[in-house]
Amino acid sequence: MVSDSIRLVIADDQALVRGALGALLDLEDDLEVVGLAADGEQALSLVEELAPDLCLMDIQMPGIDGVEATRALRTASPRTRVLIVTTFARPGYLRSALDAGASGFIVKDSPAEKLADAVRRVHAGMRVLDPTLAEESLFEGANPLSERERQVLRLAADGRSAGAIAAEVFLSAGTVRNHLSAAIGKTGAGNRAQAVRIAVDKGWI
**56 in a structural domain:** yes
104: domain range? 6-139
Handedness of CA 19, 22, 25, 26 (dihedral sign): negative
Q: Tell me how far apart the alpha carbons of residues 90 and 187 are, in angstroms, rounded to a whole number.
A: 15
Helix (H) or strand (E) holding 180: helix 173-187
Q: Tell me which of 139, 162, 184 is where a domain ends.
A: 139
180 and 130, same structural domain? Answer: no
128 and 33, same structural domain? Answer: yes
Q: What is the CATH number of the domain that holds 155?
A: 1.10.10.10
Total domains in the fold of the chain: 2
Q: What is the CATH number of the domain that holds 85?
A: 3.40.50.2300
Burial 35-62 (b: 16+ CB within 10 A, else e): bbbbbbbbbbebbeeeebbbbbbbbebe
DSSP string, 62-114: SSS-HHHHHHHHHHH-TTSEEEEEES---HHHHHHHHHHT-SEEEETTS-HHH
36 and 89, same structural domain? Answer: yes
What pLDDT sits at residue 199?
A: 85
Contact present, 161 and 155 (Cβ < 8 Å): no
Cα–Cα distances (Å) from 121 to 1, 67, 72, 124, in that order, read: 19, 20, 22, 5
165 and 97, same structural domain? Answer: no
What pLDDT sits at residue 66?
A: 92
What pLDDT sits at residue 202?
A: 77
Q: ∠ CA(133), CA(66), CA(131), 5° rounding? A: 15
Q: Tell me which of 92, 114, 139 is where a domain ends.
A: 139
**180 in a structural domain:** yes
**72 in a structural domain:** yes
Backbone phi, psi, residue 35, to 5°: -160, 145
Model pLDDT for residues 155-205, shown as the tens digit of each residue: 999 888 999 999 989 999 999 999 999 989 888 888 888 888 888 877 788
Q: Tell me which of 139, 164, 185 is where a domain ends.
A: 139
Q: Mean pLDDT in each 10-residue stretch from start to end of the chain (205 residues)?
A: 81 93 93 95 95 94 90 94 87 83 89 91 92 62 82 90 91 91 87 88 79
**19 in a structural domain:** yes
Please give the mean pLDDT across all residues of the chain. Answer: 88
Helix (H) or strand (E) holding 137: helix 131-140
What pLDDT sits at residue 92?
A: 77
**1 in a structural domain:** no
Q: How many CB atoms lie within 10 A of CB 21?
A: 23
Is the full-model pTM beyond 0.85? no
**69 in a structural domain:** yes
Q: ∠ CA(122), CA(128), CA(129), 5° rounding? A: 155
